A and B are shown apart, each in its own frame.
Chain A
Amino acid sequence: QKEVEQNSGPLSVPEGAIASLNCTYSDRVSQSFFWYRQYSGKSPELIMSIYSNGDKEDGRFTAQLNKASQYVSLLIRDSQPSDSATYLCAVPFGSARQLTFGSGTQLTVLP
């Protein structure tokens, strides 16, 4: 099993819909989880951090964490075409607890 796994997509949703992005991780001791957004040809940008079980909301974005199931998700409400990007899940891993990134999910929001 890969350390961090994401649905590779691509995922397409209509404008205004909810986009749901999923991520599972293999390290049970992980305590912090991150979502980065990467537009085509650009660098990754941190959009959400979550450290506790449950939901964390920031504007149209909600991160959900379930440590027992080793699962973290990102919901984007009222999706906009400007949300079209690749979303990377990242989890600290290994003895030095450095970030390990998933392969990313490419999201397209259709106008």
Chain B
Amino acid sequence: DAGVIQSPRHEVTEMGQEVTLRCKPISGHNSLFWYRQTMMRGLELLIYFNNNVPIDDSGMPEDRFSAKMPNASFSTLKIQPSEPRDSAVYFCAIPLGGGAYNEQFFGPGTRLTVL
């Protein structure tokens, strides 16, 4: 059963602070995607992991952003230092299965507000 847990669900922080977002696929997946959604830019892919290795991080905005996937059951997205323009909803997603990795199941998201 596809399922993704993201934590925290809401995060409010001040500019300059470090933020760590977490994603836990319930059934363990070797492929995982991090997206960011804003009103201005829509839904954008930040980074994609396959076999726990980052394959495409061209969407990561800048060096302040980093992501890891130490195992098939856990991934983190870190922003250090955070800025107000990082305010967005961050989703992680996993392939639904069947080899079509673009058929994706999205987690509930983390709403980040940077003051």
Hey, which bits of chain A sit against chain B, CB under 8 A?
32, 34, 42-46, 49, 88, 90, 92, 94, 96-104
Residues of B within 8 A of A (CB): 33, 42-45, 48, 55-56, 58, 91, 96, 100, 102-109
Given contacts A32-B102, A96-B48, contact A101 B42 (CB under 8 A): yes
- From the candidates A32, A43, A45, A101, name the one contacting B109 in the complex (CB within 8 A): A43
Within the complex, the shortest CB–CB distance from B21 to chain A, in Å, comes to 14
Residues on A with C-beta less than 8 A from B45 are 98-100
Contact A32 B100 (CB under 8 A): yes
User: Is A46 touching B105 in the complex (CB atoms < 8 A)?
Assistant: yes
Contact B109 A98 (CB under 8 A): no
CB–CB A43/B108 < 8 A: yes
* A45 surroundings in chain B (CB, below 8 A): 106
A34: B residues at CB distance < 8 A: 102-103
In the assembled complex, how far is the CB of residue A40 from the closest CB belonging to chain B, in whole angstroms?
A: 12
Q: Inside 8 A of B91's CB, which chain A residues have their CB?
A: 43-44
Cross-chain contact B104 with A49 (CB below 8 angstroms): no
Give 12 CB contacts A-B under 8 Å: A44-B91, A49-B100, A49-B102, A94-B58, A96-B55, A96-B56, A98-B45, A98-B56, A99-B33, A99-B45, A100-B45, A102-B42
